[in-house]
A and B are shown apart, each in its own frame.
Chain A
Amino acid sequence: MKKRALAVVLTVVIAMGLAACGGSAGDGSGDTRQIIRVGSKDFTENLVVSEIYALALEDAGYEVERVQNISGSVIHTSIVNDEIDLYPEYTGTGLLSVLQMDVMTDPQEVYDTVKEEYEKQFQLTWLDYAQANDGQGLVVSKDVAKKLGITTISDLQAHASEIRFASQGEFNEREDAIPALEKVYGAFDWKSSKVYDNGLKYELLEKGEADACPAYTTEGQLIETGKFTLLEDDKHVWPPYNLAPVVQDKILAEYPDIAEVLNAVSETLDTETVTALNAKIDVEKEEMEDVAREYYESIQ
């Protein structure tokens, strides 16, 4: 009984002590600098990249609030409505979904266009873009790719009659998927084409129940280059989806060094790096925050 009373007293004392510390720390930093609100979309890659941005900003002395898991369809509205200060966006998404412009396939051209239009229309700045490209792609299982000598989408089209295609249904219908490919590469007359749940595609390829499937170019599973071959879009049908931070102009005006901090991060992010980060989280099931921290520390 005595022991329990002692424990209660101790807990109260410690709690009060902690509260006091927290309070004084907050007072110290609160009025000098604004909190930077770092947003992210609701999928692995965007979450981990935004976490890396947040860590870099904290390291540079900023206080950061993380606003995570915003749906991709509303995040642009969030930043325009001043609910977040910055978030990682893809150049292709900005071009096609936000600005509703026509497809372009040169990464620099796409970047220059979105940068200019965002500035004009929304007072938002695109900082430097990373080499990492999370675009659409087609994947073939390594064995089949080797046997038939397939490395590009042209090769795939030529061998389509020997390929069992596994789609999630929408890929066959969506304007920018098979219909767009067929306009440029010619018809894909698959040996068979079946619809599966999207989550099954890599397993199907691995087990040899299908030969090819649609993919996004930074999906974690693609790190296993011994099993899967990502095909080159040799006739450039798909626009680039390079990663870059989109930041509110007024934040950059007040804290110009944010540009430098985030550009330094972007410089290190290429497609392989981002794929590896996705793989750690989605394939090896590590915690997103740990993966981000580990990566951030590795680029210091």
Chain B
Amino acid sequence: MNGKWMEVITEYFRTNKDLYLEMVSTHIKISLIALLIATVIGIGGALLVSGNERAQKILSAVFQTFRVVPSLAVLILLIPIMGTGIMPALFALTLLAVPPIFMNTISGLTSASPFTIETAVGMGMTKRGTFWKVKWPLARPMILAGVKTAAIEIVASATLAAKIGAGGLGEIIFTGLGLYRMDLILIGAVSVATLSLMTGLILDGADKLLVPWK
């Protein structure tokens, strides 16, 4: 059985190498762009409302609400508005990724203890200085954790982009489902899982680089 599996899978890569590489690169491209947009919106949004508790609550509620709509439903609902292809896929993935980044940034920024802030003020720091020199560095690990959560979710969910013609590794999985071909499903699923793991590792590396004191 094992030998047969290997054979079928090797055969797939032999005949479909270019197609496979294209799907992997599309998958990575969609995920990266979505992550970038989500990071800008998530962190930017959190910074904007960082001084205003009421706005924080409202915005978190809004993001959380959008997040509970399944990505697949978002994709199909967007067809009449944005059509098919990469744009709606990016939109749905961004929607999924903003909340963890936003929420983590907020809680990171509020994590500095009042004592620490008082010390900073006591040392003569301005409000601005306190923010950038104390609050922000202390929030960084939390923010990175949020980005990591978001990135892993995006890589896994980008599979759905194949439903609306945006390509990616979902193509192999959905083709495999249609044909009931386990080899294809396995190749697709393992590839997505590997990408997800690699994303996690890369961001762990970034964590070490950006938060050296940890």
The answer to whether the Cβ of B84 comes within 8 Å of any Cβ in the partner chain is yes
Residue A195 contacts which of B83, B175, B181 (CB distance < 8 angstroms)? B175
Q: For B59, list chain A residues within 8 Å (CB).
A: none
* A196 touching B179 in the complex, CB below 8 Å, given contacts A168-B174, A169-B174, A209-B85: no
- Size band of the interface chain A makes with B: 10 to 19
B178 lies within 8 A of A204 (CB): no
The answer to whether the Cβ of B165 comes within 8 Å of any Cβ in the partner chain is yes
| Chain A facing B: main interface SS | mixed
A residues 193-236 touching B (CB-CB < 8 Å): 194-197, 200, 203-204, 207, 209-210
Closest residue to B170 on the A side, CB-wise?
A: A195
Residue B84 contacts which of A168, A170, A174, A196 (CB distance < 8 angstroms)? A196
Q: For A170, list chain B residues within 8 Å (CB).
A: 175, 178-179
The answer to whether the Cβ of A172 comes within 8 Å of any Cβ in the partner chain is yes
A156 to B76 Cα, complex, angstroms: 29
Closest residue to A167 on the B side, CB-wise?
A: B175
A195 to B85 Cα, complex, angstroms: 10
A169 to B165 Cα, complex, angstroms: 10
B179 lies within 8 A of A174 (CB): yes
Least CB distance from B165 to A in Å reads 4
Q: For A196, list chain B residues within 8 Å (CB).
A: 84, 163-165
Q: For A194, list chain B residues within 8 Å (CB).
A: 165, 167
B167 lies within 8 A of A207 (CB): no
A196 to B184 Cα, complex, angstroms: 17
Proximity string of chain A (157-198) to chain B, C-beta cutoff 8 Å, 1 when within and 0 when not = 000000000101110111000000000000000000011110
A168 lies within 8 A of B165 (CB): no
| Chain B facing A: main interface SS | helix
Least CB distance from A69 to B in Å reads 20
Closest residue to B75 on the A side, CB-wise?
A: A197
B179 lies within 8 A of A173 (CB): yes
Q: Tell which of B167, B170, B178 has the most Cβ of chain A within 10 Å.
A: B178
Q: For A204, list chain B residues within 8 Å (CB).
A: 84, 165
Least CB distance from A125 to B in Å reads 31
Q: For B84, list chain A residues within 8 Å (CB).
A: 196, 200, 204, 209
The answer to whether the Cβ of B162 comes within 8 Å of any Cβ in the partner chain is yes
Least CB distance from A71 to B in Å reads 13
Proximity string of chain B (138-167) to chain A, C-beta cutoff 8 Å, 1 when within and 0 when not = 000000000000000000000000111101
A195 lies within 8 A of B179 (CB): no
A209 to B84 Cα, complex, angstroms: 8
The answer to whether the Cβ of B79 comes within 8 Å of any Cβ in the partner chain is yes
A104 to B84 Cα, complex, angstroms: 38
Closest residue to A199 on the B side, CB-wise?
A: B76
Closest residue to A168 on the B side, CB-wise?
A: B178
Q: For B179, list chain A residues within 8 Å (CB).
A: 170, 173-174
A260 to B162 Cα, complex, angstroms: 49
Proximity string of chain B (74-87) to chain A, C-beta cutoff 8 Å, 1 when within and 0 when not = 00100100011100
Q: For B167, list chain A residues within 8 Å (CB).
A: 194-195
Closest residue to B166 on the A side, CB-wise?
A: A194
Closest residue to B172 on the A side, CB-wise?
A: A169
Q: Can you give 20 contacting A-B residue pairs, CB < 8 Å?
A: A166-B165, A168-B178, A170-B175, A170-B179, A172-B175, A173-B179, A173-B184, A174-B178, A194-B165, A194-B167, A195-B165, A195-B167, A195-B175, A197-B163, A197-B174, A200-B163, A204-B165, A209-B85, A209-B165, A210-B165
Given known contacts A168-B178, A169-B175, A195-B170, what 9 new A-B pairs fall within 8 Å (CB)? A168-B174, A169-B174, A195-B174, A197-B76, A200-B163, A200-B164, A203-B79, A204-B84, A209-B83
